[in-house]
Amino acid sequence: MNGRTLLSILTAKAVLSLSKFLFKGGSSFPGKVALAMDPSVLFHVAKGIPVILITGTNGKTTTANLLAQVLVKEGYRVIHNATGANMYPGITASFIDAFRFREKKKADFAVIEVDEANVKFITQVLEPKAIAITNLFRDQLDRYGEVYTTLHKILEGVDLTKETLLVLNGDESLLGALSQENPKRYFGFSVFEEGGKELDQNADAKFCKVCQGPYAYDFVTYNHLGKFYCPNCGYKRPSLDISVDALLETTPSSSTFVLDNEKVTLPQGGLYNIYNALCAYTLARELGIDKKRILSSFSVQESAFGRQEVLQMDQKEVHIFLVKNPAGYNQALDTVLLTKEAVTYAFLLNDQYADGRDVSWIFDVQFENLQGAVSGPLFIGGDRRYDMAVRLQTAGLDPEQFHVLDTYEAFTKALQKMATEKIYIFATYTAMLGYRKHLHKLGYIKKLW
């Protein structure tokens, strides 16, 4: 390690310490500082550590969190960007934070979620042990474009590491028939009796990637995921290596299903979280961990940062759902609509860079499904609160029930006055971060990052 690299690490560590003191947590900024001083610093701090990359549109943070906790419970030392700082500088900062000059033994694994467009930057420097791709949905069209563009960005990174194992969502039609020769493992649902056979009109990938004909389905789980086939050319879902063989029960806060011939209860609701568990399970099995020990870990998993996070606000039980695209938002709504008790619904919509500047995607979210479920006031905040109010009104919800609030303080005070004990908050990324900071100042969140 040369002097330039050494100085960049020391400087970044100093910035990290200052950031933790001032902001109660780290950020990507220390990574930016280190990379400005030495563009090769990631190679040095990650050298010799087996790296697992997790990418895709939805589920990166939760999947990485599931896998990291499994590995930690197995006694491994794990580097993990738990707060979702998944760009190149944030990933660099995570490795620098874990780097110790005098330790002979390095971390056993690095479980890293990575932004889809940043995969190629990581694989230019590192050769991961595995790359997992969760799914591909329309998301931040101003950054990624359509789903085929997102796939291309990811595969640019895969092409740089030809020996890396690919762990892929088999129910994702875009991930079958890949030309890459990397070893591959597929996960998905072997059966799904609850699903129909027709795609919603707003589904993201309706046409065959081989011949452009329309897909047919034996079943659809959600959006365009499911057991697909093309009647025109014969392209179909690949054989699954790991699968859900039965869905036994779903609630707003849990799912019980059969995975690899074992019954497991996941303490998070929603089909999307079952897919996250499938992905993490497949990775853990490839790392040689016993399946019963993996599923035992899953049964006591805590929700990841801002993802179905549950906290107490005085006597209120507040559930925070990170929502950033139609597919994820629809799944979150479908999950909470399983509840049998009276709840309060609240919405925070921002349009900052990390959210995507274009918020027209909210018109592809099925807010119409809330009709009949909302019996009280609806609370709306964020930079684009009026856009959200318009969308909810067009969905048939009563504007007389809307409370459009311009500050987090007003938002919180209004929620505290509600009679219901349970509150569901749907927030885009920067809104989630901002509101969590507000709740941290009030003492409702102990650990900000």
Pick the range with the lowest mean pLDDT from 77-91, 303-317, 334-348.
303-317
pLDDT score for 439: 92
| pLDDT band at residue 229 under the 50/70/90 scheme | very high
Average pLDDT over residues 110-124: 96
pLDDT at 271: 93
The pTM score is 0.91
Residues 6+ apart with CB under 8 A from 413: none
Question: What's the confidence (pLDDT) of residue 449?
Answer: 62
Q: If you average pLDDT over residues 415-439, what whole number do you get?
A: 93
Helix boundaries (H) for 100-146: 119-123, 141-144
- Average confidence score pLDDT of the chain: 92
In 170-315, beta strands by DSSP E: 184-189, 216-222, 225-229, 242-251, 254-259, 262-266, 307-313
Query: Does the annotation count 358 as an active-site position?
Result: yes
Higher pLDDT, 249 or 143: 249
Q: Are 274 and 264 in contact (CB under 8 A)?
A: no
Is pLDDT above 90 for 104? no
The predicted pLDDT at position 340 comes to 83
pLDDT of 307 strictly over 90? no
Q: Quick one: pLDDT at residue 372?
A: 85
Secondary element (H or E) of residue 335: helix 326-336
**pLDDT score at 223:** 94
Pairwise CA distance, residues 406 & 403, whole Å: 10
Which candidate in 290, 358, 398, 406 is catalytic? 358
Given 3-state DSSP classes, what are the helix, strand and coil percentages for the chain, each rounded to the nearest 5? 35, 20, 40
Of residues 242, 429, 235, 422, the one with CA closest to residue 324: 429
Position 304 confidence tier, pLDDT thresholds 50, 70, 90: low
Q: Is residue 200 predicted with pLDDT exceeding 90?
A: no
Q: What is the pLDDT of residue 303?
A: 67
Check the CA dihedral 416-417-418-420 and report its sign. Answer: positive
